Amino acid sequence: MSGILKVIIDIASTPAILVAMIAVLGLLLQKKPTTDVVKGGVKTFVGFLVVTTGAGAVVASLSPFGEMFQVAFNVQGVIPNNEAIVAVALSEYGTTTALIMLAGMIFNIMIARFTKFKYIFLTGHHTLYLACMIAVIMSVIGFTTIPLILLGGLALGIVMTVSPAIVQPFMRQLTGHDNVALGHFSAVGYALSGYIGKYFGNKEKSTEDIKFPKGLGFLRDSTVSIAITMGIIYVIVAIFTGGAYIRENLSDGTNHIIFALQQAGAFAAGVFVILAGVRLILAEIVPAFKGISEKLVPNAKPALDCPIIFPYAPNAVLIGFFSSFLGGIVSMIIMLFAGGVIILPGVVPHFFVGATAGVIGNASGGLRGSILGSFVQGMLISFLPLLLLPVLGDLGFAGSTFSDADFAVSGLFLGLLGEYGGQVAVVIGIALALSIMIALTLFSKKQKETVEAN
């Protein structure tokens, strides 16, 4: 049994395999020729590996930057990191996590099939992380065995379906169609960025319309502009960190300026690879998903990881990252003056989440929307983890916390219900959430019938 569960975890937490299997299933349901099935599956698999490779390069280049930042400005505190806290929790809750994850994926398909929320969440590692958090919180509340797995899976399935729905209006605005959704558990922050852009931005002035002087025309190339901008940032932080520290602890003796430039170049290369992989995935997964939409879940939409939207506004990716990180720094300063726990700006979440918020903010409010939306989102993913920390601190994870907004919102929802109302309150809360989705579906269906009748 444990061997089967391990295979389930490995497949479901590996996006390349999971999404390739979905693509193959979709093509088989359409009764495509064997050559098309093989080609679609392999290209989807390779595309996700390309994205993963690019993301790995970005993370590797940002990791030393985070350490340099702490040393340069002498700050200590908690750095939100999904991978770190899940790695600790899985040693005790691995089996429960796998079962909740499997149940959650089934509930996701069922909810998408029978409600108006037609989103199939395909970002496997985020599903694993949320399943782990739900397993921990609900175990502490007192749930065990079958109720733990079924209720935890239902809670996971609801979040997997609702999260893409929250940000889908802005995805339609960004992409110009309704074929693809965003499957990344920071939808609350993305939607907030979209609304800020809508009400405080100016859609007529896009980040992609930034005018460069003739002599700086090379900056129109996103790879060049990212490399130069990140190079300047890295070098400044490296100077404040000090050459001695970097040579002894990070660069294996390489000059600190040269090391900073290498990391900036690696960052730009990683972003370039991500964009190439995204284009490959979209070319295969959307047509393949038509089979699932027609046979299993009518009008289903694949909810994919956040880099899927980076090609739509490459300038907004960088602007969103910087603005979100600045929001994290401002939040850290507020926490310093307030006393107590300090949430340090995690460079990796501020890049991926901030960049995505920047693209969404630009779609609804142009350059101003991108800057303001991602800045506020950066503050959101600083203060929400701070609020979540006590819930996880009781479980022995006080040194870390989850980094993205949806983790904090769903974790606080379950944790506070359990703390003040026990198991009964949690059951009622989950049932109420599902009931609202069903009610909205029935209301939408009735509206549609009324319109057709008139």
Query: Each residue of 168-185: pLDDT tens digit?
Result: 999 999 998 888 999 999
Query: Each residue of 312-321: pLDDT tens digit?
Result: 998 898 899 8
The residue among 396 and 44 whose pLDDT is bigger is: 44
pLDDT of 6 strictly over 80: no
Q: Predicted confidence band at 289 (pLDDT cuts at 50, 70, 90)?
A: low
Can you tell me the distance from the alpha carbon of 109 to that of 408, in angstroms, rounded to the nearest whole number?
Answer: 24
Can you tell me the distance from the alpha carbon of 111 to that of 404, in angstroms, rounded to the nearest whole number?
Answer: 24
User: What does the pLDDT read at residue 217?
Assistant: 55
Q: Predicted confidence band at 33 (pLDDT cuts at 50, 70, 90)?
A: confident
Q: Predicted confidence band at 191 (pLDDT cuts at 50, 70, 90)?
A: very high
The residue among 372 and 57 whose pLDDT is bigger is: 372
| pLDDT (average), residues 380-399 | 74
User: What does the pLDDT read at residue 127?
Assistant: 85
User: What does the pLDDT read at residue 208?
Assistant: 86
Query: Mean pLDDT across the chain, nearest whole number?
Result: 84
At residue 273's C-alpha, the angle toward residues 255 and 42, to 5°, is 140
Q: Predicted confidence band at 210 (pLDDT cuts at 50, 70, 90)?
A: confident
Q: Predicted confidence band at 405 (pLDDT cuts at 50, 70, 90)?
A: very high
pLDDT of 218 strictly over 70: no
Can you tell me the distance from the alpha carbon of 334 to that of 338, in angstroms, rounded to the nearest whole number?
Answer: 6
Percent of the chain with pLDDT over 90: 33
- How many residues does the structure list for the chain? 454
How does DSSP assign 126-181, residue by residue?
HHHHHHHHHHHHHHHHT--HHHHHHHHHHHHHHHHHHHHHHHHHHHHHHHSSSS-E
Q: Predicted confidence band at 439 (pLDDT cuts at 50, 70, 90)?
A: very high
The residue among 273 and 114 whose pLDDT is bigger is: 114
Instruction: Select from 264, 282, 222, 230 the least CA-distant residue to 61.
Output: 264
* Least confident residue range of 96-105, 110-119, 316-325: 96-105
Cα 3 from chain centre = 29
3-state SS of 70-139 is HHHHCCCCECCCHHHHHHHHHHHHHHHHHHHHHHHHHHHHHHHHHCCCCEEECCHHHHHHHHHHHHHHHH
Give the position of tokens 């069922």. Answer: 110
User: What does the pLDDT read at residue 94?
Assistant: 74
